[in-house]
Amino acid sequence: MKIELQFLQDPYEPYEHENLAFSFWKRDIKTDTDKKKIVSMIHHLYHMCCVESGMDVKDLDEILANTTYAKVGFTIGINLESSNYSLYTYNANKKN
């Protein structure tokens, strides 16, 4: 399974900083080990924001079941309404 790292511009502060993100093809998730790698990457994203993550494989399964993207991306951003860090999904296959 290939996980790609990238930087995304923050839509609220596009000239201030970028957010670290990663993406993968849903079709490449074949084993529980693949899922654990993705969850580990999510933990790393939260850790970079100095926030603990309680996500596990069941949570990932739920997120992926509700995501229609073929290539899924994850990033962490601050939710402006609650001032908390949140996990965001995006279509990583979308052409710019």
DSSP letter (8 states) at residue 64: H
Q: What is the pLDDT of residue 78?
A: 79
> What are the tens digits of pLDDT across the range 49-70?
888 899 999 999 999 999 999 9
pLDDT of 17 > 80? The answer is no
CA 7 to chain centre: 12
Sign of CA dihedral 70, 76, 77, 83: positive
The partner residues of 1 in beta bridges, in order of sequence, read none
Q: What count of residues does the chain have?
A: 96
Tokens (6 digits) for 94: 């979308």
User: Who wins on pLDDT, 85 or 35?
Assistant: 35
Confidence band for 77, pLDDT divided at 50, 70 and 90: confident
Q: Is 48:54 a contact under the CB 8 Å cutoff?
A: no
Q: Taking 90 as the threshold, does the pLDDT of residue 8 lie above it?
A: no
Eight-class DSSP state of 94: -
Task: Give the residue-averaged pLDDT of 75-95.
Answer: 84
